[in-house]
Structure 1
Amino acid sequence: PEVVADSVERARPQLYEVRERRVHPGRDEKILTSWNGLMLRAIAEAARALGREDYRRVGVANAEFVLANLYRNGRLLRTHKDGQSKLNGYLEDYANYADGLLALYETTADRRWLETARVLADSIVAHFADEENGGFFDTSDDHEALVARPKDLFDNATPAGNSVAAEVLQKLAVIYGDPELGRRGVGLINRLLDALAKHPSAFGRLLCAADFAIGPVREIAVVGPSESPETSALRQVFERSYLPNRVVVFGNQAASSDHIATLPLLADRVPINGRPTAYVCEQYTCQLPVTEPAALAGQLGVKTPT
C-alpha cells in the first residue's frame, strides 16, 4: 500500500498538468435573487433553531448584498454577475426574497427586513396580480411583452412563486392588520381547492399556505430590548420549537413610534414591571402577558428550552 501511495503522489502533479491542458467545464456563477431568497429563509431559521451566530451573520450579509445590488425603489432585479445586475425580477424573485426577509426579521428583530418584505409584497400585488383569474403572473406588468404572460401554479424542485406569495401575503396581513393582503393570499388557494385535493403532491408549498389559512395562527409579540438576556430567553421558547403557523413581532422602547403604530400586535403592548414581556394572541385577542420562559412555553404548548 505504501508503494502505491507513493506512486500516486508522484503522479499527481503530472496528472494535474495534463488536466489543465483540457478545456475547463463551464461554471454558472451568476447570483439569482429567487434562490438567494430560498437560502436566506433556510439559514435564518437554522440560526434560530441551532443558536448559530455565524449563520445569522451570513443571513444579514446576504440581505445587505441583495438589497444593495439587486433592489431599486421597491423593485427587484433577477440576476447579478461580475458586478452587474440585470433583468426584471420574476414573481419567484419577489416572493422568495420577501419570505427570506421575514425569516431574517424573526431572527434579528431588525425591522428594516420586515419593512422591506412589506414593500416587496406591495410590488407583487401592484405588478403581478391576475385580477381576472386570481393569483399572480410570473412576469410583471412592465416586463418585456410576451405572447402570453406565464403563470406557474405547480411546486416542483423549487416552489412556485404563487405558492410562496400566498403564504407571505397572509403572514404580512396578520402582522400589519391588512385584510386586503390576506384576501390576495387566500384567493389563489380557494381557486385551487379541487386541484389541491386531487393532486396534493403537485402543490407541496401551496399546502403550507393553505394550512396557514386554516389556522389557528399564533401571534407572538415580544416587547423589550433585543439585546437583553431576558428577551433572548423568551425568544428561545418559540425559536427552538416547531410552530409553523405563527407570526412574530418585536417591540423595543428605542424603536420608531411610527413603526410601532403600524403593527396592531404591538398596540398597547408594554413591558410588565419593566421586564421583557411576551404576548401570545389569536386574531389579536391575547392571553395574559408573561415574563417567564416557562409561562410562555405553557401558553404555546411547547417545552421550555433547556
Structure 2
Amino acid sequence: MANRLKEETSPYLRQHAENPVDWYPWGKEAFEKARLEEKPVLLSIGYAACHWCHVMAHESFERPDIAKVMNEFFVNIKVDREERPDLDQIYQMAHTMITRRNGGWPLTMFLTPSQVPFAGGTYFPAQPRFGLPGFVQVLEQIRDFYRDHREGLEKEDHPILQYLGQTNPVADSTEFELDLSPSEALVNNLKSRFDPEFGGFGGAPKFPHAMDLSYLFRRFHRKGDSTAAHMATLTLSAMKRGGIWDHVGGGFARYSVDERWLIPHFEKMLYDNALLLEALALGASVSRNPVYSRTAEELVGWLFREMRSEHGVYYSSLDADSEGEEGRFYVFQAEEVRSILSDEEYRVVSKHYGLSEPPNFESHAWHLYEARSIGELSKEFHLPESDIESRIDSARQKLFTYRSLRVRPGLDDKILASWNALMAKALLFSGRILGKQEWMTAGRKTIDYMHRNMWKNGVLMAVYSKKEPFLPAYLDDYAFLLLAVLESIRIDFRPEDLSFATAIADVLLTEFYDPESGGFYFTGKNHEALIHRPKNGHDGALPSGNAAAVQGLLWLGTLTGHLPYTSAADQTLRLYFAQMKEQPAGYTTMISALETYSDSQPVILLAGPQAEDWKNTIRQGLDPEAFVIDLTSAVRNSLPLPEGMRKHFPENKTTGWVCRGTMCLPSADSLESLQEQLRLWPLSKKELS
C-alpha cells in the first residue's frame, strides 16, 4: 500500500512511495502529529541519484520489521535535498555540530516536534558493520534518549539553535580597504594541495573542483600565471583520460573514488557538467588544446541527447545505479567488448581503454579509461594516428549502441531553477568562446522558458515538475539566473534581458539582502519560517549564492549605473573579507567576485557600420566577462546612456566608448584610439569613479 509520498512531485520521494515506512513529506501535518503523540521526528534527506540513499532504502526502509520500529517510535519525514536545499543546509550544519563529522547523504537526523535537531548521522546499515551500529539499535537508543530528556530538548534556547545562529558572519565595524590578499592566499593554497601527478586537489575521493579550475584559467588570462594554467590543464586532461569521464556516452560523473580519476561514483549531475563545460571552454581559450573543445562538444552532445526536455530545459541527474547495482549500466566484460567489435578494432581498443589489464571495477568488470594514448598506440601498431582514431571512433559507436539496449539508470526529471540557470550560463559562455551558435541558442531558450514558466507575479519558482512551478526560489536560483541573463546580454543585447536582469536584482535586494550587515540570506523574507536562516558565503557543490549575487550585481551596476546594486555587492564583499583571507579554499567564487570588483572591467559601446568588426577585434584581448555592446536603437532606448551621447550620436561613422554605468571616456573615432583607451583603462577608470 502506497504512503503519502505517492503524489509528491519529486522522483526521489516517489521512489519511497511503496515503502512500509509511514513517510510524510516535510510540512505542518507531520510536526503536528509528532507534537500530539509526543514522538521525535526522523528526518531522512537524500536525492534520486544517490547510491548510498538507495542502499539504506533497500536495507532498511523496504523491510517491514524495521519500518514497524520506525513507525512506532517516530514520525518519519522524507526530503529531497534538491527541492529543499534550505533544509539540507540547516541540518547538514547541525549534523556537523552534533557529531563533529562531515555530513553527506543520506542524512539521517532526529528532531523534536519543534524541528530542533538533537542527534543524527548519515548512512546507517541495517546490521552493525563498517564500525557503525545497526539501524534498529540506533532507533531504540534515540527513542530512549528522547523519552528521558524530552523536557530539556524542548527548551526554546537549545544550544544547537545558538550554535546555528553563530554560523552567520558578523559585519566588521571598522573601516578597511578591500585588497587582493585573498587571491594570493587562494593560489598558494591550491598549489599546496595540487596533485602534480594526476591533477586535482587533495587525495581520494577526488572531486573535480570546477570552480577552482575556472578560477585558475581566469587568473592566467588576467595575470599570465603559467603555474595556474598548468594546474588547471593537467587536472582537466587527467579527468578526460580517466573514468570519471564517460568515454562511451559523454558527460562527467560526480567524483572519483580514487586519486587517478579511474573509477567514479557513477551519478551524473546537471550542475557538475554545467560548471565543467565552462571550465572546458576556458581551457580551450587559454591552451588552444583541441582536446578541451572536443570534450566540450561531446559533453553538450550528451546533454542534448539525454538531459534536455522537449521545452529546452534540463533534467537534474542520472542515477548511479541500474538494476539495483552501482555502475552496472557503464561497465563491461572484456569478452563482451570483443564480441561486439571487429578484431582490428578490439586490438586497438583493448589497449586504449585498459581492457588488456586486470579488471578495475570491483575485481570483476572493466570501467573504460584512457590507458594508452593514440600516439602511443600509433607507434606500437605502426599505424597513422588517424587510423587509430578511426578504429576507436568506430568501436565507441558500436559500444554506445550496445550499451543503449541495457536497462538505463534512473532519470530525475524535475527542473531546478538554479541548475538550469548554471547550464544556461555555461551554454551561452562556452558557445560564445568556442563559436557555437547552437549552444547559445539553447542557452537563451532555457532562460526564456524559465522567464515564461517559472517567473510568476514578479517572483521566481525553484522547481518545475508535473507541468507546474512550485516552491519559492532560493538565493542560488536568483543569483545564478542573473548571471545567465547577463551572459545573454554579452552575446548581443535584447531589451527584455536587461529588464529581466533588473527585476531579478531588485528581488535579491528586497527579499534576500541584509541591509544592516551586508550579505544575502539563503531564503527570502516571505519564506517558510525555519529554525535558522543561513547566510553562507562559501562554495559547496555549487558556487556560493552570495558570491554569484555579488558578481551579478557588480556587472549589472556597471551596465546601468544603479548604485544600490554596486553598494550591496561592496558591503557583501566586506562581510566575507576576513573569511576569504582565513579560509581561501572555501571561497573561490567569492574571491573571483572580489577580483571582478577590483578589476572593474569597462563596458564598451560601439556604433556605426564597422561596429561588428571592431567588436570581434577588441574581444581578442579583453577579459572574457567584459561587455562589448553594439548600440542599436533598442540598446539606446534601454541603457542609461550619457546625455551627451544621446544628443550627438554618430550615424554614419564607427565610434566607440569606454564606459562605467552612465559615465564614459571621450568617444574614440578609430579602432586604434579605442584600443589605446582599453590599454590605459587601469589608470583612466579612476576618472569615472
TM-score under structure 2 normalisation? Answer: 0.38
**% same residue:** 25
1:252 has 2:629 as partner: no
The CA RMSD over aligned residues, in Å, is: 3.0
- Corresponding residue to 2:669 among 259, 272, 290: 290
2:678 maps to a residue whose letter is L
Residue aligning to 2:472: 88
Give the gaps of 5 or more residues in structure 2. 1-334, 342-398, 681-689
Q: By how many angstroms is 1:301 displaced?
A: 3.7
- Corresponding residue to 2:655 among 277, 281, 286: 277
**Superposition pairs of residues 164-183 of structure 1, within 5 angstroms:** 164-183=548-567
1:121 has 2:121 as partner: no
Residue 159 of structure 1: SS of its match in structure 2?
A: coil
> CA separation in 1, counterparts of 2:426 and 2:568?
25
1:160 has 2:537 as partner: no
Q: By how many angstroms is 1:138 displaced?
A: 0.5
Measured against aligned partners, the alpha-carbon deviations of 1:53-80 in whole angstroms (never above 9, x if no partner) come to: 2122112211111111111132111011
Of the structure 1 ranges 134-143 and 172-181, higher mean CA displacement relative to structure 2 is found in: 172-181
Q: By how many angstroms is 1:193 displaced?
A: 1.6
Highest CA radius of gyration, 1 or 2? Answer: 2
> CA separation in 1, counterparts of 2:552 and 2:633?
27
2:441 maps to a residue whose letter is R
Measured against aligned partners, the alpha-carbon deviations of 1:187-210 in whole angstroms (never above 9, x if no partner) come to: 011122221112211111111211
Residue aligning to 2:40: none
**Superposition pairs of residues 194-213 of structure 1, within 5 angstroms:** 194-213=578-597
Residue 131 of structure 1: SS of its match in structure 2?
A: coil
Residue 141 of structure 1: SS of its match in structure 2?
A: coil
CA contact (8 A) 2:425 2:483 kept: yes
> CA separation in 1, counterparts of 2:546 and 2:592?
12
**Superposition pairs of residues 51-90 of structure 1, within 5 angstroms:** 51-90=435-474
Q: 1:204 to 1:92 in 2, by over 3 A?
A: same
- Corresponding residue to 1:243 among 604, 607, 623: 623
Q: 1:45 to 1:268 in 2, by over 3 A?
A: same
2:669 maps to a residue whose letter is V
Residue aligning to 2:494: 110
Measured against aligned partners, the alpha-carbon deviations of 1:24-59 in whole angstroms (never above 9, x if no partner) come to: 643211111111221222222223223322122112
Q: 1:200 to 1:256 in 2, by over 3 A?
A: same
CA contact (8 A) 2:615 2:628 kept: no
1:192 maps to a residue whose letter is Y
Residue 658 of structure 2: SS of its match in structure 1?
A: strand
Residue aligning to 1:147: 531
- Corresponding residue to 1:268 among 642, 645, 657: 645
TM-score under structure 1 normalisation? Answer: 0.81
Q: 1:123 to 1:152 in 2, by over 3 A?
A: same
CA contact (8 A) 1:48 1:240 kept: no
> CA separation in 1, counterparts of 2:336 and 2:413?
38
CA contact (8 A) 1:99 1:168 kept: yes
Q: By how many angstroms is 1:300 displaced?
A: 2.7
> CA separation in 2, counterparts of 1:160 and 1:66?
21
Q: By how many angstroms is 1:170 displaced?
A: 1.5
Residue 268 of structure 1: SS of its match in structure 2?
A: helix
> CA separation in 2, counterparts of 1:203 and 1:244?
21
Indicate the structure whose relative CO is greater, using CA pairs within 8 Å and at least 6 residues apart: 1
CA contact (8 A) 1:96 1:161 kept: yes
CA contact (8 A) 1:281 1:287 kept: no
1:300 has 2:678 as partner: yes
Q: By how many angstroms is 1:285 displaced?
A: 3.7
> CA separation in 2, counterparts of 1:83 and 1:179?
39
1:50 has 2:434 as partner: yes
> CA separation in 2, counterparts of 1:213 and 1:183?
11
User: In the comparison of the two structures, how many residue pairs are matched?
Assistant: 285
Q: 1:73 to 1:4 in 2, by over 3 A?
A: closer
Measured against aligned partners, the alpha-carbon deviations of 1:214-266 in whole angstroms (never above 9, x if no partner) come to: 23432212235xxx6x3322222344444156344442235573x24xx1468
- Corresponding residue to 1:32 among 385, 394, 416: 416
1:76 maps to a residue whose letter is L
Residue 79 of structure 1: SS of its match in structure 2?
A: strand
Residue aligning to 2:517: 133
Residue aligning to 2:385: none
Of the structure 1 ranges 116-125 and 34-43, higher mean CA displacement relative to structure 2 is found in: 34-43
1:185 maps to a residue whose letter is A
Q: By how many angstroms is 1:105 displaced?
A: 0.9
> CA separation in 1, counterparts of 2:417 and 2:618?
29
Of the structure 1 ranges 45-54 and 166-175, higher mean CA displacement relative to structure 2 is found in: 45-54
1:286 maps to a residue whose letter is L
**Superposition pairs of residues 198-237 of structure 1, within 5 angstroms:** 198-224=582-608, 230-237=610-617
2:612 maps to a residue whose letter is S
CA contact (8 A) 2:492 2:629 kept: no
Measured against aligned partners, the alpha-carbon deviations of 1:9-36 in whole angstroms (never above 9, x if no partner) come to: 9xx9xx99x965xxx6432111111112
Measured against aligned partners, the alpha-carbon deviations of 1:271-293 in whole angstroms (never above 9, x if no partner) come to: 5451343212357241432353x
> CA separation in 1, counterparts of 2:336 and 2:553?
62
Q: By how many angstroms is 1:93 displaced?
A: 0.3
